[in-house]
């Protein structure tokens, strides 16, 4: 009976690892761009429908970032080890729980919105919160009633977790973190992904086999940074014992699998002749997102991930010792992509593939500097020859331009750079002048 419960726990852990990777990878696919634009996209504050056109801000990971992953991870891990060793564990966990609770509310709410919209196709009007200072947008929030409802639900669940440390809610938070990370963190190339996986492969081996640091932090860190499942749901002594998997073993391979899926779509679109400056290919039937395409790299990489995870669990079960999952997952994912590339004769395309960040995609239009023109800048002579204006005429014209600009700034500018009290002063002066003129 105990053995059956343990294998059920292993199956549950595997399912919780694969689910956020699968759905997070598809969620990372951007909406295709084309020359066709909907009119409502130009209406910044209109009451337009909450739809799939929204894009989240993503974080790109370059090869330089990938090289530093093991370094940053080691510093963070060892720092946590020292904190737990020399400070009060309860207070440290209290602060960490509060921090992760704030993140958890946002992550759960966002995932909840995606689930509801994805399953029901619900579209709701948006509310806008737009903060502008000196013509520059400082903050622009868009949300619907669905966002507010999911925010309330996530706050209740997170509050229950803080007071009860319920393992089910802890898993929900962990899965939400994993899904959000896989959706928003994007590798810019397979080179960056392989560097990251290779570096964290060495990182995992050193900190698990070479020291007690990793295991010690994992046991003391009481926060939703792992998914767990009881080895026996109904133990005789009433004490639950858990098997667990760290979120890093889900997120790190997950963002690599998401890259493989985006490459699959890239290859498919290239065969169709897709160009973002032109109309969508007819084969897509007007769909900017949600169309089917072959996924050989994603399938092989997902298979390799499942095989690597099964190997990790098997070794852990046989030797009764914690295993660094990336020891098996990193080589499996890398070899799966390389083997598929060789089998399909696309090695060159795989290693040449890169993704531009959204900041790089934005077209920056050069601004033309136009020299100020004056009414009296040129005077035509009788012989139709132009002669420069006199210094007095230029001075008069510049003064007039300055006066007009000042009047426009005070009366036409919809978003003033001065306070309400300051902006009222010029109006009062003009009113006084009009009164004197009438007298």
Catalytic residues: 204, 249
**Residue showing tokens 């929204």:** 54
Q: Give the span between the Cα atoms of 144 and 116, in whole angstroms.
A: 13
Provide the phi-psi class of 41: left if phi over 0, else alpha when psi is between -120 and 50, else beta: alpha
CA 179 – CA 112 distance, rounded (Å): 11
Cα→Cα distances 114→78, 138, 419, Å: 36, 26, 41
Alpha helices in 230-357 (DSSP H): 248-272, 296-319, 326-344, 347-352
Residue 187 β-bridge partners: 61
Residue pair 335/300 in contact by the 8 Å Cβ criterion: no
What is the Cα–Cα distance from 328 to 305, expressed in whole angstroms? 9
The separation between CA 76 and the C-alpha centre of its own chain, rounded to angstroms, equals 22
Concatenating the DSSP letter of every residue in 175-216 gives: HHHHHHHHHHEEESBHHHHHHHHHHHHHHHHIIIII-SHHHH
∠ CA 63-67-68 to the nearest 5 degrees? 120
Q: Provide the β-strand partners of residue 206.
A: none
> Closest by alpha carbon to 27, among 254, 312, 272?
254
**CA distance readout (Å), 13 to 196, 229, 261, 330:** 24, 7, 23, 18
Angle at 371 between CA 366 and CA 374, to 5 degrees: 150
Q: Are 54 and 184 in contact (CB under 8 A)?
A: no
């Amino acid at each position: 009976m105990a053995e059956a419960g343990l294998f059920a726990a292993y199956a549950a852990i595997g399912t919780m690892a694969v689910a956020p990777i699968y759905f997070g990878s598809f969620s990372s696919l951007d909406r295709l761009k084309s020359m066709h634009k909907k009119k409502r996209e130009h209406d910044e504050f209109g009451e337009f429908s909450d739809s799939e056109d929204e894009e989240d801000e993503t974080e790109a990971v370059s090869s330089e970032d990938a090289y530093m992953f093991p370094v940053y991870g080691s510093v963070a891990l060892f720092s946590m080890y020292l904190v737990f060793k020399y400070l009060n564990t309860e207070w440290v966990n209290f602060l960490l729980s509060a921090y992760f609770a704030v993140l958890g509310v946002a992550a759960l709410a966002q995932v909840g919105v995606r689930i509801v919209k994805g399953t029901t196709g619900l579209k709701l009007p948006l509310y806008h919160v737009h903060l502008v200072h000196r013509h520059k947008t400082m903050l622009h929030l868009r949300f619907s009633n669905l966002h507010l409802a999911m925010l309330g639900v996530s706050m209740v669940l997170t509050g229950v977790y803080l007071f009860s440390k319920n393992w089910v809610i802890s898993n929900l938070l962990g899965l939400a973190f994993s899904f959000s990370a896989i959706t928003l963190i994007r590798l810019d190339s397979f080179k960056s992904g392989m560097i990251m996986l290779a570096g964290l492969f060495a990182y995992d081996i050193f900190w698990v086999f070479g020291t007690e640091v990793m295991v010690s932090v994992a046991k003391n860190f009481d926060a939703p940074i792992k998914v767990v499942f009881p080895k026996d749901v109904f133990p005789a002594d009433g004490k639950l014992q858990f098997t667990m998997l760290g979120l890093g073993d889900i997120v790190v391979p997950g963002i690599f699998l998401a890259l493989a899926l985006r490459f699959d779509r890239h290859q498919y679109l290239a065969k169709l002749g897709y160009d973002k400056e032109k109309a969508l290919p007819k084969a897509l039937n007007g769909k900017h997102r949600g169309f089917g395409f072959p996924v050989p790299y994603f399938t092989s990489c997902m298979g390799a991930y499942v095989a690597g995870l099964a190997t990790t669990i098997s070794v852990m079960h046989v030797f009764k010792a914690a295993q660094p999952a990336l020891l098996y997952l990193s080589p499996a994912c890398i070899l799966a992509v390389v083997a598929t590339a060789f089998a399909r004769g696309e090695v060159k395309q795989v290693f040449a593939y890169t993704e531009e960040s959204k900041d790089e995609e934005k077209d920056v239009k050069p601004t033309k500097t136009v020299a100020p023109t004056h009414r009296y800048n040129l005077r035509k002579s009788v012989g139709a020859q132009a002669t420069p204006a006199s210094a007095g005429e230029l001075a008069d014209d510049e003064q007039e331009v300055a006066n007009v600009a000042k009047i426009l700034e005070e009366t036409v500018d919809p978003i003033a750079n001065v306070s309400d009290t300051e902006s009222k002063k010029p109006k009062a002066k003009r009113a006084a002048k009009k009164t004197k003129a009438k007298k």
